[in-house]
């Protein structure tokens, strides 16, 4: 397991603050003989340090993929599978699959398919809770479209939540990408929406707990 570069500054600042709190805890409570308060606050400091560090963890994952597979781009839980009108790029009917990421999930995002990046657009917006029906269209978000070698396109959208207020993405139009490569990161709770062709074979259901690169959302039909 490694730690994501997006978290270096946040982790450093957080650990300095927590260290200062622990020093104050030592002089204020331990020296006064209030051992139980010292131990309680120490436990709180350790828990906060663990939560901050684990948020930026990047586990090593070995995966295999076939030509028409569509991989899950993020860790989380499937909260939406429905046919919708995609109005930004396709302007037609697509299957939307939404993955909600809690603060306990890995928040790096990975390309669900390989191919050529056809479209990238960042949208400033609101910070509604990530499961709100309008979060996909009203929240801060980034939309990316990749064209597979078979000519089919997949749109995936990073959506900020009530806590997540920084979306990071690392791809540009006309860039060639491989399936399972990292394309972005969202800080502190969010969701990913994936829009697939209607004829796609779907391999997940609502409520499934999924893993980036390991779970196959679906498969293009030949």
Most confident of 136-145, 166-175, 210-219: 210-219
52 and 82 part of one domain:
no
113 and 177 part of one domain:
yes
Answer yes or no: is 207 within a domain. Answer: yes
15 and 82 part of one domain:
no
91 and 142 part of one domain:
yes
50 and 133 part of one domain:
no
Q: How far apart are CA 86 and CA 91, in angstroms?
A: 5
Domain total of the chain? 2
Verify whether residue 190 is a known catalytic residue. Answer: yes
Q: Are 195 and 96 in contact (CB under 8 A)?
A: yes
Q: How far apart are CA 91 and CA 78, in angstroms?
A: 24
119 and 205 part of one domain:
yes
Q: How far apart are CA 183 and CA 194, in angstroms?
A: 14
13 and 82 part of one domain:
no
Answer yes or no: is 162 within a domain. Answer: yes
Answer yes or no: is 92 within a domain. Answer: yes
50 and 101 part of one domain:
no
Q: Which of 98, 135, 136, 190 is catalytic?
A: 190
183 and 131 part of one domain:
yes
Looking only at the bridges linking them, the beta strands covering 115-123 and 141-147 are antiparallel
Answer yes or no: is 21 within a domain. Answer: yes
Q: Which domain range does residue 208 map to?
A: 69-219
CATH number of the domain residue 160 falls in: 2.70.70.10
Residue 108 is given by DSSP the state E
Q: Residue 214: what pLDDT?
A: 95
In this structure, the number of other CB atoms found within 10 A of the CB of residue 185 comes to: 23
**Candidate from 9-23, 71-85, 146-160, 196-210 with smallest mean pLDDT:** 9-23
Summarize pLDDT for 122-158 with one digit per residue, the tens: 988 655 554 555 555 566 889 999 999 999 999 999 9
54 and 89 part of one domain:
no
Summarize pLDDT for 32-85 with one digit per residue, the tens: 778 878 889 999 999 999 888 887 888 889 899 999 999 999 999 999 999 999
Q: Are 95 and 200 in contact (CB under 8 A)?
A: yes
Answer yes or no: is 100 within a domain. Answer: yes
Answer yes or no: is 160 within a domain. Answer: yes
105 and 208 part of one domain:
yes
| CA-to-CA separations, 195 to 31, 37, 116, 165, in angstroms, rounded | 59, 51, 16, 23
104 and 163 part of one domain:
yes
Q: How far apart are CA 193 and CA 129, in angstroms?
A: 14
């Amino acid at each position: 397991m490694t730690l994501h570069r997006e978290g270096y500054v946040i982790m450093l600042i957080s650990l300095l603050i927590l260290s200062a709190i622990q020093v104050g805890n030592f002089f204020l409570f331990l020296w006064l003989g209030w051992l139980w308060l010292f131990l309680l606050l120490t436990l709180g400091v350790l828990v906060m340090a663990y939560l901050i560090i684990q948020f930026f963890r990047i586990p090593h994952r070995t995966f295999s993929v076939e030509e028409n597979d569509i991989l899950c781009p993020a860790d989380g839980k499937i909260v939406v599978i429905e046919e919708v009108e995609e109005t930004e790029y396709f302007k037609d009917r697509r299957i939307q699959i939404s993955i909600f990421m809690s603060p306990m999930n890995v928040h790096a995002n990975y390309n669900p398919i390989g191919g050529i990046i056809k479209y990238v657009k960042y949208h400033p917006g609101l910070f509604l809770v990530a499961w709100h029906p309008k979060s996909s269209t009203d929240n801060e978000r980034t939309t990316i479209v990749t064209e597979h070698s078979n000519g089919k396109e997949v749109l995936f959208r990073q959506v900020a939540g009530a806590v997540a207020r920084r979306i990071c993405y690392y791809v540009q139009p006309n860039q060639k990408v491989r399936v399972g490569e990292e394309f972005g990161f969202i800080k502190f709770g969010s969701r990913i929406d994936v829009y697939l062709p209607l004829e796609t074979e779907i391999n997940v259901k609502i409520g499934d707990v999924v893993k980036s690169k390991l779970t196959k959302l679906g498969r293009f039909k030949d």
